[in-house]
Amino acid sequence: MNRDLLMSDAVHFRISYEINPYMDRSCQPDTEAAVAEHEAIAAAHRAAGRTVRAMESAPECPDMVYTANGAFVCDGRAVLGDPPAARLEEIRYFRSWLKENEFEVFDAPYAFSGQGDALACGRFLLAGYGQRTDERMHGFLAELFGHETVLLRTAGEEWYDLDLAVAVIDERTLAYHPEALEAGSRSRLRELGLELIEVDAADARAFALNLVSDGTTVTMTQGAPRLAATLRERGLTVVELDTTELRKGGGGVRCTALTLDNPAPR
Ligand code: ARG
């Protein structure tokens, strides 16, 4: 998993609106630094043996660097995101790219944050809702792809996408910040029989969980030393990167890569 990724670029990345609590129009990214940061993330994926496919960002889409919200892709099929109005313009670019690259493309019938709220883990789909994604969206995805849906409601807009609260390390292991999930969802996660790594508030707020793991190498932010150490103790190779500029938009490593190779659930 996570060996084939779609990334965009940070050339047009800026804070033009505020749709999550981290965005502040008076705190703009430095474009040159943002581009360098983003390129370093792409280089780290390549160094880990992953394929990075590129989709050019559009000038009218300042959040396009966060490709994770463009769609959820699995087994050659893609369901497009249906994001807040401020980001709606992005979707036609994802539609075109995915079609040109021979994915079968579906529209989302409800509000949907794409992979931001849809994390595949073996036979499970970790299904975020309550902020950017309508709960009914997950019935649609289950019917299309056949995963066992694990509905997880995040606890407030600080965790506006599930990929800030939960991370898939491999098919048997998740990392998560318990307080980022509502009580019922926390219990649901604990009964799956997966191994769970708990991440504290400080690391979670530094976007520790917004990581990309292929089961061997974990690519993550450098602001979360405790999770990095825990993963190393488990024998994983951990690559920590500066995400200062991307954080200004409310995102990190996971948000900038749309996974193209999620397998059909087994
Ligand atoms: N500024 C973007 C937004 O609010 C950040 C998206 C980050 N993506 C993610 N998958 N968490 O939509």
**Where do the domains of the chain lie, and which CATH numbers do they carry?**
4-259 (3.75.10.10)
3-class SS of residue 18: coil
Position 266 scores a pLDDT of 81
CB 163 less than 6 A from any atom of ligand 1? yes
Q: What is the pLDDT of residues 163-215, one digit of tens each?
A: 999 999 999 999 999 999 999 999 999 999 999 999 999 999 999 999 999 99
Distance CA 40, CA 29 (A): 16
Ligand 1 in reach of 164 Cβ (< 6 A) = yes
| Ligand 1 neighbourhood includes 81 CB (under 6 angstroms) | no
Q: What is the dihedral sign for C-alpha 15, 18, 19, 22?
A: positive
Q: Give the per-residue pLDDT at 116.
A: 98
Task: Give me the DSSP letters along 232-262.
Answer: HHTT-EEEEE--HHHHTTT--TGGG-EES-P
Ligand 1 nearest-atom number relative to CA 113: 10
Evaluate: CB of 63 within 6 angstroms of ligand 1: yes
Q: 233: CA distance to ligand 1 center in Å? A: 30
Please check the confidence at residue 107 and state whether its pLDDT lies above 90: yes
Residue 117 near ligand 1, beta carbon < 6 Å: no
What was the pLDDT predicted at 55?
98
Say yes or no: CB of residue 70 within 6 Å of ligand 1. Answer: no
Where residue 89 falls among pLDDT bands split at 50, 70, 90? very high
Pocket residue to mutate for ligand 1, from 19, 23, 161, 248, most atoms within 8 A of Cβ: 161
- Determine the residue of 8, 16, 255 to mutate for testing ligand 1's pocket, defined as the one with the most ligand atoms within 8 A of the Cβ atom: 255
114 lines ligand 1 (CB under 6 A): no
pLDDT at 33 over 90: yes
Ligand 1 neighbour 223 (Cβ under 6 A): no
The reply to whether ligand 1 has any atom less than 6 angstroms from the CB of 62 is no
**pTM more than 0.95:** yes
Q: For residue 160, name the pLDDT band (cuts at 50, 70, 90).
A: very high
Given a cut of 90, whether residue 36 has pLDDT beyond it is: yes
Chain-wide mean pLDDT for the chain?
98
Tell me, using a 6 A CB cutoff, whether residue 128 lines ligand 1. no
**Rounded Cα gap, residues 67 and 71, in angstroms:** 8
Rounded CA gap, 117 and 157, in Å? 13
> 243 CB less than 6 Å from ligand 1?
no
Does ligand 1 come within 6 angstroms of the Cβ of 250? yes
Average pLDDT for 212-229: 97
Place 67 in a pLDDT band, splitting at 50, 70 and 90.
very high
Going from the Cα of 112 to the center of ligand 1, the distance in angstroms, rounded, reads 12
| pLDDT tens-digit series, residues 117-155 | 999 999 999 999 999 999 999 999 999 999 999 999 999
Query: What is the chain's Cα-based Rg?
Result: 17
* Amino acid identity, position 143: E
Ligand 1 geometric centre to CA of 65 (Å): 9
Residue 261 has pLDDT above 90, yes or no: yes
